[in-house]
Amino acid sequence: MTSYDVIVVGLGGMGSATVRYLAARGVRVLGLERFQPAHDRGSSHGDSRITRQSYFEDPAYVPLLLRAYELWQEAEKDSGADLLTLTGGLYLGPPESTTFAGSLRAAQEWDLPHEVLDAAAVRARFPTFSPAEDEVAVFEERAGFVRPERTVATHLDLAARDGADLRFGRQVVSWDANGTGVRVRTADGEHTAGSLVISPGAWAPSLLAGLGLPLRVERLVQYWFAPPGGTEPYERQPVYVAEQAGGAQIYGFPAIDGPEGGVKVAFFRRGRDTDPDALDRVVTDAEVDEMRARVADTLPGLVGPVVKTVPCMYTTTPDEHFVIATHPEHENVTIACGFSGHGFKFVPVVGEVLADLATTGTTSHPIALFDARRFA
């Protein structure tokens, strides 16, 4: 039996980056994934993910984002793939909203280049938006979008190029660890290694059941609208997060896939609970109507026919911060889950952190916020 230094379970967003950074360091790594590369059954599909730096969730994420940007660019160079596109980002809401006030706080704390715009300035500069009179926005140039499926596929290719053993259609059914190593079982056999990384996305509640993490798996829908006046004005708009009084946030993208591709928009949070093995792919008229009504407030010209809807899953913690840590009971097991709907923009830096933890037990990146023991 081949012997490995590290086994990575789950090769979605986080796991694919982890095998890439492990293999690049010459670590003998086995990656096991239950579905196919860059599949659409988990959390890392739907053509685009926002990336931004003035992070309203908590300024503690900013150094990780700065590093993630460096690593996206490095992955583009190493692979020749186009992964990250900067479009600028607009964070719009009432002055006291999390979206506006939180973004401003992070920008100021980290001295990130940004501008503050009132409603009239937003309308003048970004005519697809129609903010309410009392709304304000932070605009930052260094925001944009990344391509999730292409990122996963690229990380897997780079890992394979560096010798990683990657196996698909292999569902891990159980694992255990002791002081000398780890053991992982799939339907067709057993694998052993010195250490284990578990990055299972929405399947964390089952693969990490012993930890009793308070995770909620939620279904969220991505919508693509065809604006009646054509996509052209939307090709130049920035990515955005827009919050209304009461807290509901939507976010969206420019038109990035040509005139027929539609313009993507979604609710941030407000998902409904789902079993990850029974994700409902049917999007109802009532769901579309709710999205349409919300879009009409912020981007009235966008409200046309819906050309595509794609459900996806969030795995959410009570404080909406990630879990990235050494397993509290096994020092040779590293866990990464609970990305709470905002993890993709961190994919390469999380890969780097997990590679650090799996090989050295520690990392120089700031991950104190993501401690698995904080819910105890």
Ligand X SMILES: Cc1cc2nc3c(=O)[nH]c(=O)nc-3n(C[C@H](O)[C@H](O)[C@H](O)COP(=O)(O)OP(=O)(O)OC[C@H]3O[C@@H](n4cnc5c(N)ncnc54)[C@H](O)[C@@H]3O)c2cc1C
Q: Which of 19, 266, 354, 355 binds ligand X (CB under 6 A)?
A: 266
53 vs 244, beta carbon nearer ligand X? 53
In the complex, minimum distance from the CB of residue 76 to ligand X, in angstroms, rounded to a whole number: 17
Among 13, 144, 254, 351, binds ligand X (CB under 6 A): 13
Rounded-to-integer distance, Cα 211 and Cα 97, Å? 34
Alpha carbons 302 and 228: distance in angstroms, whole number: 7
Stretch that binds ligand X, among 19-27, 37-45, 114-122, 282-290 (CB under 6 A): 37-45
Of 19 and 101, nearer to ligand X (C-beta) is 19
The reply to whether 256 sits near ligand X by the rule CB under 6 A is no
Smallest gap, in angstroms, from Cβ of residue 177 to ligand X?
16
Angle, CA 102 vertex, CA 96 and CA 107 arms, to 5°: 130
| Angle (nearest 5°) at CA 221 between 316 and 344 | 50
Cα 254 from Cα 261, distance rounded (Å): 11
Q: What one-letter code names the amino acid at 361? A: G
216 and 202 in contact (C-beta within 8 Å)? Answer: no
Please say which residue, 84 or 136, places its beta carbon nearer to ligand X.
84
Of positions 104, 207, 215, 263, contacts ligand X by CB under 6 A: 207
Q: According to DSSP H, which parts of the chain are helical?
A: 13-24, 62-79, 103-109, 119-125, 148-161, 204-207, 232-235, 285-298, 347-360
Instruction: List binders of ligand X among 132-171 (CB under 6 A).
Output: 171
CB of 312 to ligand X, least distance (A): 3
8 Å CB contact between 192 and 228: no
- The answer to whether 201 contacts ligand X (rule: CB under 6 A) is yes
CA dist 268 and 13 (Å) reads 19
Short-list 58, 129, 57, CA closest to 88: 129
**Stretch touching ligand X by CB under 6 A, among 45-53, 58-66, 84-92, 280-288:** 45-53
Closest residue by beta carbon to ligand X: 12
Is 30 near ligand X (CB under 6 A)?
no
In the range 295-314, which residues lie near ligand X by CB under 6 A? Answer: 312-314
Q: Rule CB under 6 A: say whether 54 interacts with ligand X.
A: no
Query: Closest approach of Cβ 157 to ligand X, in Å?
Result: 16
Q: Is the dihedral of CA 111, 116, 122, 125 positive or negative?
A: negative
Residue numbers of the site for ligand X (CB under 6 A)? 9-15, 32-35, 42-44, 46, 49-50, 171-172, 199-203, 207, 220, 222, 266, 312-314, 339, 341-345
